[in-house]
Structure 1
Amino acid sequence: MQRSMHCMFGLTLAFAVIAPVAASSRPLAGSKPLSEILQGIEQRAGEVVYSADFSSGSWEILACKAGGQGCREIDVDPQTGEERSSSPEDASDTLPPSNGRTASQIARSIEGRNLGVITELEYDDPHWEAQVRPDRGHAKLYVDPISADVRRCIGSACPPRGR
């Protein structure tokens, strides 16, 4: 009996430690949609966003002035959409095509599919890659930068073909 109680305590402690980590892997309920946060950066700062990653309770967004100049990493509050801080960043990655959809438009297109919460969005030539987390499971989407069509989906939360 004592050994059984010890195991139960250990499991309870493990779940108490793991639960906050799992909860912080995606924005909390009531957070602004990623599309709104990205649109604010695109409009306010006139920057091209080419990645957004939800980590440690905030959005880490990489944005550059047109042509890949003046890049910075921006820490954004998911609840308010306000910039907390920013720092200069090298632009070693390829920027999205100038005739393509913006990051906010790609995010809005994915949000409209109701697959779950976007936790990562990154332009990786020749497509946008998005990690989506519903209540259970996950999906990685490969999205065309011009049409915003999902070209491929990998994971347990992928919609049935034809959706």
Structure 2
Amino acid sequence: MKKNSIIVILSIIGLMLPFVSHADANEIPPQGSKLLSAIIKTAEGQHHGSIFEAEFEDGLWEVKICDTSVCQKLYLDPQTGKEVRQRKTDCDEIPPAGSMPISKIIQSVEAQGLGIITGFEFDDGFWEVKLRKDGRKVKLIIDPMTGESTALSMKKRTLSDDQMQRATSHLSQSQDVNRNNEPNIRR
């Protein structure tokens, strides 16, 4: 009886594994994607307001932006940067006036080669930039006024060989970013 229970449990776990790895694959922009800094810079130019969050989910960049009265979630194609759709959303905390543009901060993180950026958000007065590097989730805490990193946290997370290959390819693209006039991100 115990053997049958163990076999059933292991079978269920085995059936769930493809869904878990598929979910992880959807958290990383595909090979050939535009750099997030370029996508965000375009969104900053096309929409009036403050970008306060972005996350790569279900194959698209979900970017939240607020002006004085309306907040929207833009769904952007990672390979072209073009808007696929948008919808109204609630506004969270936005960066203070005089903050560095988030596109410059993201460009600096990309240039540092710290990992693949999977999202960012403005929370408790700081930018939290989420990355994947060497099978780990990494989070940078960045001052919005200076662009300097104040903290770093890591969680181990195993990625499949395919995901690691995509990550390595994406990182090599991000290291080609122009490194002039960028904020100082300390490790």
TM-score bracket for the superposition, by shorter chain length = 0.7 to 0.9
* In structure 2, distance between residues paired with 1:96 and 1:105: 14
Paired position in structure 1 for 2:50: 48
Q: Which runs of 5+ in 2 are unaligned?
A: 1-6, 157-185
Q: 1:33 to 1:12 in 2, by over 3 A?
A: same
Paired position in structure 2 for 1:98: 97
Paired position in structure 2 for 1:36: 38
* In structure 2, distance between residues paired with 1:78 and 1:36: 10
Question: Which deviates more, 141-150 or 42-51?
Answer: 42-51
Deviation at 1:17, TM superposition (A): 3.6
* In structure 2, distance between residues paired with 1:15 and 1:156: 20
* In structure 2, distance between residues paired with 1:119 and 1:22: 11
* In structure 2, distance between residues paired with 1:101 and 1:40: 16
Question: Which deviates more, 14-23 or 75-84?
Answer: 14-23
Deviation at 1:135, TM superposition (A): 4.0
Q: Which runs of 5+ in 1 are unaligned?
A: 1-5
Paired position in structure 2 for 1:3: none
Q: Deviations over 1:73-127 (max 9, x none)?
A: 1111111101111111222x22101111112112112112211111110011311
CA-atom RMSD, angstroms? Answer: 2.2
Task: Tell me: higher relative CO, structure 1 or 2? Use CA pairs within 8 A at least 6 residues apart.
Answer: 2
Deviation at 1:42, TM superposition (A): 0.4
Paired position in structure 2 for 1:18: 20
Q: Deviations over 1:29-62 (max 9, x none)?
A: 2111111111111001233211001111111110
Deviation at 1:64, TM superposition (A): 1.4
TM-score (norm 2): 0.72
Aligned residues: 151
Identity of matched residues, %: 31
Moved over 6 A (4+): none
* In structure 2, distance between residues paired with 1:35 and 1:108: 5
* In structure 1, distance between residues paired with 2:64 and 2:80: 18
